[in-house]
Amino acid sequence: MQFIDLGAQRARIEGRLNAAIDKVVREGRYILGPEVAAFEKQLADYVGVRNVVACANGTDALLLPLYAAGIGRGDAVFVPSFTFAATAEVVALAKAEPVFVDVDPDTYNIDIDSLEAAIAMVKAEGRLTPRAIIPVDLFGLAADYDAVAAIARREGLMVIEDAAQAIGGVRDGVKCGAFGDVASTSFYPAKPLGCYGDGGAMFTNDDALAERLRSFAFHGKGETQYDNVHVGINSRLDTIQAAILIEKLAILEDEMVDRDRIATRYAERLAGIVKTPKLPGGNRSAWAQYAIETPVRDGLKAQLQTKGIPSVIYYVKPLHLQVAYTSYPRAPEGLPVSEALPSRILCLPMHPYLSEADQDLICDTIGDYVGHNAAMAAE
Ligand SMILES: Cc1ncc(COP(=O)(O)O)c(C=O)c1O
């Protein structure tokens, strides 16, 4: 059994993928070929934003907006601690400071009270200037953008949506990638919309910001490629990857229906056995991960392994406790949820091609193991 079965997806569209790759190789426009612009346009239409700027990976897609906004030394950027390292890493790379905020125990997304407290703390200390918030749509579920936007407006902060795990997610009719001043995503192969290597993109309705993002992603170019008006980087999506993504985007909605069906079945079969994900009303998760919680996590993981069922712990440690990030500021009341989750959380196989038989085996194994442990504890 696969944790994420990319082979099944490839088999479904193999002919189209091979033809698309072959065309790029034959035509030879490997850098910024026509497929890149075509994919940007199709993705912008899908997400419902004016501009998509493709780049080399999801980390650059978070870093470039910081450069474009001039965020750097002396600035504070508020990030959840329970996320992948890139969310905070880019802030430090831009020479600003990540301020770690706790997450909500049910959605695993940035906790609004903790965010408010962290902003108030930074303002009271006066050492750093609050500049931006990077909410993460963790595991495919949109953060609470109504609350985040209200705070950002009040405090004059930029919002950068980290939608690396969330293309295909929807909140109140708005697709993930369309929140904030700018959004970022990753096309790492295992993401809901993934390519066959590294890739990323930024989304914005602000045309001037889109131009700045394009410039910073292309050595700070001005009127021409050889006119440098900013110190930028080289961050482009390869034409081959764009050609692959065009074919994968064409089946994404179809795949979302299957992900939803599989998530619903997990929720039904695991109810009352382990804690299953809660979706706030109006949301469709992209289900990049299906995370459960149980106090007998380690034993359960080992038991699943004996049945050939892969499972992964996302994340084993919150960022504020990682060696590289311990010296950065944290929300004043601590981050108890981010610190407790790593000992309880477990991500189960989740992809659109998971068979009912495999899902039954997973759910039966969990039911048996957790039931047996509960019986032992009661004795
Ligand atoms: C939440 C989050 N942000 C950022 C990234 C960075 O993306 P990439 O690996 O494409 O640089 C990832 C991907 O792994 C992620 O999960």
- Residue 292 contacts by C-beta under 8 Å, 6 or more apart in sequence? 270, 274, 275, 276, 277, 345, 346, 347, 348, 366
Over range 318-334, report the average pLDDT.
98
pLDDT grade, residue 194 (50/70/90)?
very high
The answer, yes or no, to whether residue 222 has pLDDT greater than 80, is: yes
The answer, yes or no, to whether residue 197 has pLDDT greater than 80, is: yes
The dihedral formed by the CA atoms of 257, 258, 264 and 270, expressed in degrees to the nearest 10: -160
Q: How far is the CA of 64 from the centre of ligand 1 (A)?
A: 14
Q: What is the per-residue DSSP string for 313-369?
A: -S-SS-GGGSGGGTTS-B-TT--HHHHHGGGTEEEEP--TT--HHHHHHHHHHHHHH
Number of the ligand 1 atom closest to the C-alpha atom of 187: 10
Over range 1-30, report the average pLDDT.
98
Letter for the amino acid at 327?
S
Q: Indicate whether residue 83 lines ligand 1 (CB < 6 A).
A: yes
Q: Write down the pLDDT at residue 309.
A: 98
Region for 152 from its dihedrals, namely left if φ exceeds 0, alpha if ψ lies in -120 to 50, beta otherwise: alpha
The answer, yes or no, to whether residue 375 has pLDDT greater than 90, is: no
The answer, yes or no, to whether residue 338 has pLDDT greater than 80, is: yes
* Dist. CA 185–CA 187, nearest whole Å: 7
- Mean pLDDT for the chain? 97
Q: Which protein residue has the closest C-alpha to ligand 1 atom 7?
A: 58
Q: Indicate whether residue 87 lines ligand 1 (CB < 6 A).
A: yes
Over range 35-60, report the average pLDDT.
98
Helices 58-68/207-216 angle, 10° precision: 110
Indicate the burial class of 174 (C-beta count within 10 angstroms; 0-12, 13-18, 19 or more). middle
Q: Indicate whether residue 300 lines ligand 1 (CB < 6 A).
A: no
The answer, yes or no, to whether residue 232 has pLDDT greater than 80, is: yes
Q: Indicate whether residue 184 lines ligand 1 (CB < 6 A).
A: no
The answer, yes or no, to whether residue 379 has pLDDT greater than 80, is: no
* Dist. CA 151–CA 18, nearest whole Å: 47
Residues in the chain: 379
Q: Indicate whether residue 186 lines ligand 1 (CB < 6 A).
A: yes
Express as a percent the part of the chain with pLDDT over 90.
97
Q: Write down the pLDDT at residue 377.
A: 81
Q: How far is the CA of 378 from the centre of ligand 1 (A)?
A: 42
- 21 is written with which tokens? 């790759």
Letter for the amino acid at 371?
G
- For residue 223, the Cα-to-chain-centroid distance in whole angstroms is 33
Q: Which protein residue has the closest C-alpha to ligand 1 atom 12?
A: 164
Contact 166, 183 (CB under 8 A): no
The answer, yes or no, to whether residue 209 has pLDDT greater than 90, is: yes
Q: Indicate whether residue 140 lines ligand 1 (CB < 6 A).
A: no
pLDDT grade, residue 241 (50/70/90)?
very high
Bridge partners, residue 55, by sequence: 200
The answer, yes or no, to whether residue 376 has pLDDT greater than 90, is: no
Over range 1-5, report the average pLDDT.
96
pLDDT grade, residue 64 (50/70/90)?
very high
Over range 41-47, report the average pLDDT.
98
Express as a percent the part of the chain with pLDDT over 70.
100
Q: Write down the pLDDT at residue 82.
A: 98
24 three-class SS: helix
Q: What is the pLDDT of residues 106-124, one digit of tens each?
A: 999 999 999 999 999 999 9
Q: How far is the CA of 176 from the centre of ligand 1 (A)?
A: 15
Q: How far is the CA of 58 from the centre of ligand 1 (A)?
A: 5
Over range 188-208, report the average pLDDT.
98
* Dist. CA 106–CA 102, nearest whole Å: 12
pLDDT grade, residue 378 (50/70/90)?
confident
Over range 329-351, report the average pLDDT.
98
Over range 259-269, report the average pLDDT.
98
* Dist. CA 192–CA 205, nearest whole Å: 23
Number of the ligand 1 atom closest to the C-alpha atom of 87: 3
Choosing from 79, 103, 186 the residue with most ligand 1 atoms within 8 A of its CB, the one to mutate for a pocket test is 186
Q: What is the pLDDT of residues 68-104, one digit of tens each?
A: 999 999 999 999 999 999 999 999 999 999 999 999 9
